[in-house]
Amino acid sequence: MHVSGLQKLGPMAGLLLMVILLAIISQDFLSITNIFNIFRQISINALLAFGMTLVILTGGIDLSVGSILALAGVLTASMVGMGLPPWLAILLGICTGALMGSINGLFIAIGRVAPFIVTLATLSLYRGLTLVYTDGRPLLSDNPDFVILGQGYLFEVPVPVIWMLVLFFLLSFLLKNTPFGRHIYALGGNEEAALLSGVRTTRVKIMAYTLCGAFASLAGIILTARLSSAQPTMGSGYELSAIAAVVLGGTSLAGGKGWITGTLIGAMIIGVLDNGLNLLNVSTFYQQVVKGAVILLAVLVDRSEKS
């Protein structure tokens, strides 16, 4: 079930209001350089949130995306360092992330363990594997053919932004115009009814978590390329920002209702908020307080819409 017109206007109005206020407060906010910087920063959270949207639409949750991001980034950087062609290392890194996501899906769909429990466990498991593999040290990855993925430009547009937009349109088409998209909504709306109507709910769940893992791994690879190194601690806490973006965009935490455009708007709200607070020289400690308050507000709005 898609969100209503009124629910669509809320996130858009909130983003517009935030942009207007920051443009008035800070003269640097609307500069071309800053706008591109915002979109480059948004791209990582947006990719995580796209995958999270699929999972939440099924009525689930994935707390392990930050750890998948880190492990996929580390493994990809390691493969590039070993001499593998960057394109092949990137492909294998995405496949690794998809595999980690499918493991989540198997435990949830076949093992019938609560998504929160499974992904909380794999959050620790995948992060631990990352630290073990790297011995807690960053891996340098400055291959020019690799770092262009995070630092390059195409027609003056940052490459990560292009990835974000391409995958946004592909996922939007997938949810609106394919049986898989309809099954995602049906599963989240009423799993028992979906099963009785012929939806292969187990397969749909596993596929949703697999895609979520793939999106998280791509985000990790792009972040690694942007930093020219893979940090074993990168991605910590990113799952909260991804969930916040999804809920701020109008997707229900109960599943079955939401839209991918709203997720992109939610990611933009968080990105604009972070950027604005940095421009205003707000302490990082207070930034954490503000972000936590925004997440809490998003959950309260989601609950009030269902009551």
Taking only the tens place, the pLDDT of each residue in 37-56 is 888 889 999 999 999 999 99
Average pLDDT, stretch 67-71? 96
41 vs 221 pLDDT, higher one: 221
Does the pLDDT at position 88 exceed 70? yes
**Res. 222: pLDDT tops 80:** yes
What tokens does 171 get? Answer: 């996922």
Please determine, for residue 22, whether its predicted confidence score (pLDDT) is greater than 90. no
Q: For the whole prediction, is pTM greater than 0.75?
A: yes
User: Can you give the pLDDT at residue 97?
Assistant: 96
What tokens were used for 299? 């959950």
Judged by DSSP in three states, 139 sits in: strand
Is 60 exceeded by the pLDDT of residue 210? Answer: yes
Asked whether 109 and 205 are in contact (CB, 8 A), the reply is yes
Contacts of 55 (CB under 8 A, 6+ apart): 61, 62, 115, 208, 209, 212
| Element at 35 (helix H, strand E) | helix 32-57
Confidence check: pLDDT of 100 > 90: yes
Q: How much is the pLDDT for 304?
A: 62
Q: How far apart are CA 79 and CA 83, in angstroms?
A: 7
Shortest CA distance to 210 belongs to which of 93, 116, 98? Answer: 98
**Residue 199: what pLDDT?**
85
With bands split at pLDDT 50, 70 and 90, how would you rate the model's confidence at 58?
A: very high
Q: Is the pLDDT at 189 greater than 90, yes or no?
A: no
Give residue 303's identity as a one-letter amino acid code: R
Mean residue pLDDT of the chain comes to: 89
User: With 80 as the cut, is the pLDDT of residue 307 above it?
Assistant: no
pLDDT confidence tier of residue 288, bands split at 50, 70 and 90 = confident
Secondary element (H or E) of residue 230:
strand 229-230
Q: E strands within 116-221?
A: 139-140, 153-154, 157-158
Q: At what angle do helices 159-177 and 201-227 cross, to 10 degrees?
A: 170
Whether the pLDDT of residue 208 is over 80: the answer is yes
pLDDT tens-digit map of 243-263: 989 988 888 888 888 889 999
pLDDT-based confidence at residue 70 (cuts at 50, 70, 90): very high
How large a percentage of the chain has pLDDT more than 90?
Answer: 55
pLDDT at position 13: 82
Looking at the chain, the number of H-run helices and the number of E-run strands are: 13, 4
